[in-house]
Amino acid sequence: MENLRLRDDFYAKIDHKGEIVTVGGIDNMKLILEDIEKNYGEKQVLKKASFTFEKGKIYGLLGRNGAGKTTLFNCISGEDIYDSGKVKIEENENINKELDFSKVGYVFSEPVLPEFLTGYEFLKFYIDINKDKIQDLLSIDEYFDIIKIHEEDRYRLIKGYSQGMKNKIQMICFLITRPPVILLDEPLTSFDVVVALEIKNLIKKMKSNHIIIFSTHILQLAVDLCDEIVVLNNGILEELDHELLKNPEFEEKIMEVLKEDYHD
């Protein structure tokens, strides 16, 4: 088996089947949220939300509709400005520093892509504007192969893409730039069963070299994919006991937690 040649200090090689094989990278990395607060007018959405996310795990972020999951992602990614608190990154146990938002990859639940470009043209444009931070670049067609986008779809206008196809394009962007932190906002809801399974497997292969936070309202998906479950409950982040994931009454217990946040 002959691998495409990538430097050993980067996280991935691609084998002849287009599969990711993790190698090297930063040994220890943490995303640290400290007392994040965010208000919209008189409504306080995040109330001193604090948590430490570690590289090598997929975190499932659960919460009721309107609980603030997207707001939290926007604050981490720099899409929105939090009112107080700190978002920091720690690498290899060095002194932590404020997170550089360019190190965050964000898969939006409703992707916003330039519809007047083809998929191929967009990725070429994306590579051009990010060339200073890309190393060991593969060809665009090789990235398409990894995500399993058929050749005829690569040259179609994005305006004709399904939401699932647009999410695939976003995933390719992360394979190109390899951001340390990846936020996934309901990314699998737009895929059919086969494609969703492929993306789940891809995410699992990527986790050893990233901090991945996965927002979903599908409890079984959280159990299947995630290593840890974090609940956004009344503006506060709470980690569930890992043993709960193995408990047959997990769904009941998580519903009890989420009902505590219901004030109507």
| pLDDT given at position 208 | 87
Name 203's Cβ contacts closer than 8 Å, sequence gap at least 6.
Answer: 58, 184, 212, 214, 225
Tally the residues of the chain: 264
- The tens digit of pLDDT for each residue in 114-150 reads 999 999 999 999 999 999 888 889 999 999 998 889 9
- Domain 12-259: give its CATH architecture: 3-Layer(aba) Sandwich (3.40)
- Please state the separation of Cα 219 from the chain's center in Å: 17
> b/e per residue, 205-223, with b = 16+ CB within 10 A?
ebbebbbbbbbbeebebbb
pLDDT mean over 63-71: 86
The answer to whether the predicted template modeling score (pTM) of the entire model surpasses 0.85 is no
Taking the C-alpha atoms of residue 42 and residue 40, their distance in angstroms, rounded to an integer, is 6
Domain ranges of the chain: 12-259
| pLDDT given at position 7 | 31
- The tens digit of pLDDT for each residue in 218-237 reads 777 887 888 999 999 889 99
